[in-house]
Amino acid sequence: MAHNLLSFRDSVDQMFTKAASLMELSPGLEEKIRVCNSTYVVRFGVRLRGQIHTFTGYRAVHSEHMEPVKGGIRYSLDVNQDEVEALAALMTYKCALVEVPFGGSKGGLCIDPRAWNEDELERITRRFTYELSRRNLISPSQNVPAPDMGTGEREMAWMADAYKRLHPDDINAKACVTGKPRHAGGIDGRVEATGRGVQYALREFFRHDDVMKKAGLTGDLGGKRVVVQGLGNVGYHAAQFLSAEDKALVTCVIERDGVIRNPQGINIDALRGHIRATGGVKGFAGGDFTEDGLRALEDDCDILIPAAVESVIDATNADRIRARLIIEAANGPVTADADRILREKGTVIIPDMYANAGGVTVSYFEWVKNLSQISLGRLERRHEEARARMIVEELERLSADTGLNWTLSKGFKESFLTGADELELVRSGLDDTMRESFKKMKEVWVNNPRVDDMRTAAYVVAIRRISNVYNSLGL
Ligand code: NAD
């Protein structure tokens, strides 16, 4: 059967409209929230390998109801206006859902990053930053990019440095991008943040019997069979944490060049090492290889984690997906048509705007750190330790004086006497964000008979918050 496949942007808009139709928004507000405010397209030349190469870049600003606006920069040959606008819209809703005080934006550069060496990529990135800066599309107070597919700490460090050179008198210059390496103003725990957020989202899901029941799942994450698509930043960290810390079994990893399966569970670190060394999963000794990546999305499993690109589950394959629970680590992996088919089948979907919000949450912490010019916990840590020591010493004195002779266990004493460092504080803030946002979504999902899935609930929470801002602005 021929299918008219939805564009990514149409998919996001349809999901938004489904939720908005359940709400009583003031006239015109639904459209105001939905539309993308602006998209800047730039074509610039860089002299490389003896000739000028022209590159096309985008920066979409979906909503400025809060500023700065925030969103990653993607390097991929598939980048286009529809995609950045859809991603920018998702950023708006995501920030509202997890209560980080940003509007939504997204950028991209049409480039295959593997086709250029490091020096060339640096020159291209610095030039792109210059183009964005000329239009205030990178700035600590107006627009703050972050990593996305094809970019990481290295690109963010180049962008921050290029911005600083253009604005030497801006004391907040470091806060112009997040996802920087620590030595360039980054924060501990940002690289792993999105994958860590996926883990925290799943842990929270498995704390609620009633929602687990909807997916036909019981118990905890231990032993659950997991399929992961994309072993990049997000997919690798999610898979690694879930297998190493929660004892889930990653039975299948799908990458660009094919699939590795192992029903006993794949050694994620070893596979990541193999991909780094060879460029793909083929030839990995710890599992069976096949080439058909799309088919593997249909593998029998408990949890499917698409962590690569958008629209991989659409009207053509949705009815064959066997996972009971899908957690959208990537942005937009399930189209609106597929979403409908999966809902009818009873598949539970933890939506992207919540599932991968760990990245922007920790980016928010990094931005705050940059503006305050001090690392998290630096003022309190030793003070906290001194107070803990006072309690321990007093307990030991009381125990000796009263003849009870209690001894505190070594493990307890050590961890109680160690003040939280930046990484622990970041994890605590991220965990809190994922738990609280889940509860807000669940409240709407479980208590409103017209809300039949978690995605719609997430949109309702986000739209409500955005509309409150617009209403208080007098719009
Ligand atoms: P990445 O570039 O680090 O990794 C992407 C991985 O997916 C790569 O290993 C790539 O080889 C693989 N891949 C690409 N196309 C594939 C395909 N068709 N089939 C199988 N594998 C494929 O990117 P990332 O930063 O991990 O981002 C992945 C997704 O997560 C994107 O949708 C992105 O928007 C979203 N996301 C990322 C962040 C972040 O902090 N990096 C935050 C929120 C959301």
Which residue among 148, 153, 253, 361 has the greatest number of ligand 1 atoms within 8 angstroms of its CB, and so is best to mutate?
Answer: 148
Ligand 1 binding pocket includes 194 (Cβ within 6 Å): yes
384 residue type, one letter: E
At 475 the pLDDT is 65
How far, CA to CA in Å, does 317 sit from each of 19, 83, 119? 24, 21, 41
CA of 114 to the centre of ligand 1 (A): 14
Closest atom, ligand 1, to C-alpha of 357: 43
How far, CA to CA in Å, does 445 sit from each of 17, 98, 340, 380? 17, 16, 16, 39
Ligand 1 binding pocket includes 332 (Cβ within 6 Å): no
Query: Which stretches of the chain drop beneath a pLDDT of 50?
Result: 1-2
Ligand 1 binding pocket includes 356 (Cβ within 6 Å): yes
Number of neighbouring beta carbons within 10 Å of residue 357 = 30
Q: At what angle do helices 268-278 and 233-246 cross, to 10 degrees?
A: 150
List the residue whose alpha carbon is closest to atom 43 of ligand 1: 356
Structure tokens that stand for 396 in this block: 């030991």
Number of neighbouring beta carbons within 10 Å of residue 131 = 17
At 3 the pLDDT is 56
Closest among 349, 323, 310 to 202, alpha carbons compared: 349
As a whole number of angstroms, the distance between CA 85 and CA 72 comes to 12
Q: At what angle do helices 118-134 and 153-166 cross, to 10 degrees?
A: 50
Structure tokens that stand for 78 in this block: 């598939």
At 6 the pLDDT is 82
Catalytic residue among 18, 70, 94, 106: 106
List the residue whose alpha carbon is closest to atom 16 of ligand 1: 256
Number of neighbouring beta carbons within 10 Å of residue 29 = 17
Tell me the backbone φ, ψ of residue 394, rounded to 5 degrees: -65, -40
Q: Does 442 participate in catalysis according to the annotation?
A: no
442 residue type, one letter: K
At 473 the pLDDT is 84
As a whole number of angstroms, the distance between CA 421 and CA 409 comes to 22
Closest atom, ligand 1, to C-alpha of 232: 4
Structure tokens that stand for 226 in this block: 């997991």
CA of 148 to the centre of ligand 1 (A): 7
CA of 357 to the centre of ligand 1 (A): 14
CA of 234 to the centre of ligand 1 (A): 6
As a whole number of angstroms, the distance between CA 320 and CA 300 comes to 10
The rounded mean pLDDT for the chain is: 96
Domains of the chain, each with CATH number or no CATH: 38-186 (3.40.50.10860), 193-358 (3.40.50.720)
Ligand 1 binding pocket includes 311 (Cβ within 6 Å): no
At 4 the pLDDT is 65
Structure tokens that stand for 123 in this block: 């020159």
Ligand 1 binding pocket includes 92 (Cβ within 6 Å): no
List the residue whose alpha carbon is closest to atom 20 of ligand 1: 255
Ligand 1 binding pocket includes 255 (Cβ within 6 Å): yes
CA of 151 to the centre of ligand 1 (A): 10
As a whole number of angstroms, the distance between CA 146 and CA 137 comes to 12
